[in-house]
Amino acid sequence: MIFESVIGLEVHAQLKTNTKIFCSCSTTFGASPNTHTCPVCLGMPGVLPVLNKKVVEYTLRMAVATHCQITPESRFARKNYFYPDLPKGYQISQYELPLAENGFIDIEINGNKKRIGITRIHMEEDAGKLSHNPAWSYSMIDFNRTGVPLIEIVSEPDMRSAEEAVAYLKQLRSLVRYLGICDGNMEEGSFRCDANVSIMPKGSQTLGTRTELKNINSFKNIEKALLFEINRQKETIHDSARIILETRLWDPEKNRTLSMRGKEEAHDYRYFPDPDLLPLVVDNQWINAIKAALPELPDEKKERFVREYSLSPYDAGILTSTRELADYFENCLKIFPRSKPVSNWITGALLGLLNAEGKPVSESPVSAQNLAALLKLIDEGTISGKIAKTVFEEMARSGKSPGEIVEEKGLVQVADFSVIEAVVSSVLDRCPNEVKAYKQGKSKLLGFFVGRVMQETGGKANPKIVNQVLKEKLES
Ligand code: ADP
Ligand code: MG
Ligand code: ZN
């Protein structure tokens, strides 16, 4: 039987607010343990939570960007469970009435658009961070993260492959970054994902039993975990066994998923509306203000780049993958307004450099101004395309402007006929055998001569003139 996989994702994104969701403690990462705490986020008796308006605003931005319906009067609920990282004994979340529902985003797979439904987006608070060490007879807890705002974005089971799941996640991450509401860092845990996966006979309308995969902290691992799990489920069915509804943990060392808990052990969270918090009322005026202030989003920007700059959708997709990279591209164009070479240099040399150094474009050693200046030097014929590569490497090392480097290292292109003629003559004199062969019809040797001349001029000779002079001399 041919099976089809079905995937739905639950993503937790940490919001970049300055303060926590229900108190004024700082959310700054990396402070000494338990220094960003107060009676509210420590769950002391007799205190009251106060909702951070910025959290609602950020969630609304995401809701609007994902075409969700906004719930006019949503509610906070208590999700009750006992765990040492949860000082109150319950997590404040949203349950029956989340802030946003029924949205979608579009992903692209091999040039084809596919729409993925967003079931809901709700706000909740993060828990503390436990540290365990086999050498200790105790565990440590840091409550700095307790009460840091999160949004949970739940998708419909609309994805049909690991590839689609990764594309969806990347699109979602790009969106939260464009909106400036989350830094989207999977490795550091500010963007986390649980993956639900099942299989069913191809074409079936009935979904199979799903398992939920946890502990996945990179795009690579999402893909690996899903592929492993889809295969495990196929083998299970092939062996005439049944898939059980359970939570499984991804083990990145062993590259496999392991059963963590079954449905019977699943928590009963005894959700109920939090009596300490009023219903949250969002009016149209607020929603409209947020809509009006929304930045240009990745999809729109990509389409505009294709249209306005005649780029391929592929290149436009790369250039708009982050807002910073798109700005870099457009800043280059302000100085050197030719989109094709600018795009080629950014997607080639620049991204190669940034990937190698593991740096975001905001920390690029080569500024947009300097890259554009380099392209100008090529365009004006001051340097050759080949020398430009050397200049670029030097720019990356020193951060200097291309003009300075070209001057310092004497890299200006040689376009002087008499200088090139002298080098050509000297090269031909030293290669009598090759000259003879060329004259007897081995015209391919022209490339050999060009190479020699370029070598002698340190790559600085204007290749057009070199070709012209060589032909004149060889054919006379
Ligand atoms: P829970 O609270 O048990 O995690 P939710 O309803 O919050 O349940 O989340 C369910 C997630 O699982 C959603 O993203 C949904 O799309 C996905 N899902 C539901 N049924 C299936 C299925 N049969 N196969 C794959 N994913 C599924
Ligand atoms: Mg779940
Ligand atoms: Zn606090």
Predicted confidence at residue 385, as pLDDT, reads 82
With cut-offs at 50, 70 and 90, classify the pLDDT of residue 20: very high
Nearest CA to ligand 1 atom 2: 10
Contacts of 470 (CB under 8 A, 6+ apart): 424, 446, 449, 450, 453
Query: Which ligand lies nearest to the CA atom of residue 153 in the structure?
Result: 1
With cut-offs at 50, 70 and 90, classify the pLDDT of residue 115: very high
User: Rounded mean pLDDT of 137-146?
Assistant: 96
Ordered by start, the domain boundaries in the chain are 3-288, 296-409, 417-474
In this predicted structure, the answer to whether residue 172 has a pLDDT above a threshold of 80 is yes
101 CA → ligand 3 middle, Å = 29
The answer to whether the CB of 199 falls within 8 A of the CB of 230 is yes
Backbone dihedral angles phi then psi of residue 347, each to the nearest 5 degrees: -70, -25
Strand order in the sheet with 90-93: 90-93, 77-80, 272-273
263 CA → ligand 1 middle, Å = 13
127 CA → ligand 2 middle, Å = 16
Token readout for 31 is 């402070």
**What is the rounded distance in angstroms from the CA atom of residue 197 to the CA atom of residue 220?**
17
Query: Which ligand lies nearest to the CA atom of residue 94 in the structure?
Result: 1
10 CA → ligand 1 middle, Å = 8
Which residues' Cβ are closer than 6 Å to ligand 1? 6-10, 154-157, 196-198, 207-208, 210, 212
Query: How many Cβ atoms from other residues are within 10 Å of residue 246's Cβ?
Result: 18
Query: Which ligand lies nearest to the CA atom of residue 34 in the structure?
Result: 3
- State which of 151, 196, 213 you would mutate to test the pocket of ligand 1, scoring each by most atoms of that ligand within 8 A of its C-beta: 196
Backbone dihedral angles phi then psi of residue 174, each to the nearest 5 degrees: -60, -40
**What is the rounded distance in angstroms from the CA atom of residue 364 to the CA atom of residue 22?**
37
Predicted confidence at residue 384, as pLDDT, reads 81
- State which of 4, 7, 10 you would mutate to test the pocket of ligand 1, scoring each by most atoms of that ligand within 8 A of its C-beta: 10
**What is the rounded distance in angstroms from the CA atom of residue 376 to the CA atom of residue 373?**
5
Token readout for 264 is 């019977």
Token readout for 466 is 């070199």
157 CA → ligand 1 middle, Å = 7
Listed residue (153, 148, 90, 94) closest to 121, CA to CA: 153
The answer to whether the CB of 114 falls within 8 A of the CB of 164 is yes
Predicted confidence at residue 416, as pLDDT, reads 82
Give Cα 440 to chain centroid, integer Å.
58
Backbone dihedral angles phi then psi of residue 283, each to the nearest 5 degrees: -95, 165
Predicted confidence at residue 407, as pLDDT, reads 84
Predicted confidence at residue 12, as pLDDT, reads 97
Least confident of 177-191, 254-268, 282-296, 394-408: 254-268
Predicted confidence at residue 408, as pLDDT, reads 85
| Atom of ligand 1 at shortest range from CA of 207 | 23
In this predicted structure, the answer to whether residue 263 has a pLDDT above a threshold of 80 is no
Torsion of CA 157, 162, 163, 166, to 10 degrees: 80
The answer to whether the CB of 353 falls within 8 A of the CB of 339 is no
Predicted confidence at residue 188, as pLDDT, reads 86
Predicted confidence at residue 350, as pLDDT, reads 97
In this predicted structure, the answer to whether residue 381 has a pLDDT above a threshold of 90 is no
Alpha-carbon dihedral sign for residues 32, 38, 41, 45: positive
Query: Which ligand lies nearest to the CA atom of residue 197 in the structure?
Result: 1
DSSP state of 414: B
Specify the length of the chain in residues. 476
Instruction: Please report, rounded to a whole number, the percentage of residues in the chain having pLDDT higher than 90.
Output: 83
| Atom of ligand 1 at shortest range from CA of 266 | 3
User: Rounded mean pLDDT of 428-444?
Assistant: 91
**What is the rounded distance in angstroms from the CA atom of residue 157 to the CA atom of residue 226?**
14
Contacts of 430 (CB under 8 A, 6+ apart): none
In this predicted structure, the answer to whether residue 382 has a pLDDT above a threshold of 80 is yes
Least confident of 4-18, 293-307, 372-386: 372-386
Nearest CA to ligand 1 atom 17: 8
Nearest CA to ligand 1 atom 6: 154
Can you list the pairs that 243-247 forms with residues at least 24 positions away whose Cβ atoms lie under 8 Å? Answer: 243/198, 243/199, 243/208, 243/209, 243/210, 243/211, 244/209, 244/211, 245/209, 245/210, 245/211, 246/211, 246/212, 247/211, 247/212, 247/213, 247/214
Query: How many Cβ atoms from other residues are within 10 Å of residue 245's Cβ?
Result: 14
The answer to whether the CB of 166 falls within 8 A of the CB of 223 is yes
Predicted confidence at residue 110, as pLDDT, reads 87
14 CA → ligand 1 middle, Å = 21
DSSP state of 203: T
DSSP state of 159: B
Query: How many Cβ atoms from other residues are within 10 Å of residue 267's Cβ?
Result: 11
Query: How many Cβ atoms from other residues are within 10 Å of residue 139's Cβ?
Result: 11
The answer to whether the CB of 61 falls within 8 A of the CB of 181 is yes
Identify the helix (H) or strand (E) that includes residue 3.
strand 3-14
Token readout for 60 is 């609304």
In tens, the pLDDT along 149-158 reads: 999 999 999 9
Nearest CA to ligand 1 atom 7: 154
Nearest CA to ligand 1 atom 3: 212
In this predicted structure, the answer to whether residue 277 has a pLDDT above a threshold of 90 is yes
| Atom of ligand 1 at shortest range from CA of 158 | 16
With cut-offs at 50, 70 and 90, classify the pLDDT of residue 411: confident
418 CA → ligand 1 middle, Å = 75
357 CA → ligand 2 middle, Å = 36
| Atom of ligand 1 at shortest range from CA of 157 | 16
3-state helix/strand/coil string of 422-440? HHHHHHHHHCHHHHHHHHC
In tens, the pLDDT along 202-215 reads: 999 999 999 999 98
In this predicted structure, the answer to whether residue 264 has a pLDDT above a threshold of 80 is no
DSSP state of 266: -
Give Cα 318 to chain centroid, integer Å.
10
With cut-offs at 50, 70 and 90, classify the pLDDT of residue 101: very high
**Which residues are registered as beta bridge partners of 198?**
6
End-to-end CA distance of the chain: give it in Å, rounded: 74
Nearest CA to ligand 1 atom 15: 8
- State which of 121, 152, 193, 210 you would mutate to test the pocket of ligand 1, scoring each by most atoms of that ligand within 8 A of its C-beta: 210
181 CA → ligand 3 middle, Å = 20
Mean per-residue pLDDT of the chain: 94
The answer to whether the CB of 204 falls within 8 A of the CB of 215 is no
User: Rounded mean pLDDT of 60-86?
Assistant: 97
51 CA → ligand 3 middle, Å = 12
User: Rounded mean pLDDT of 426-444?
Assistant: 91
Q: List the CATH code of the domain at 417-474.
A: 1.10.10.410
Place of tokens 């205190």: 47
145 CA → ligand 3 middle, Å = 10
In this predicted structure, the answer to whether residue 3 has a pLDDT above a threshold of 80 is yes
Instruction: Please report, rounded to a whole number, the percentage of residues in the chain having pLDDT higher than 70.
Output: 100
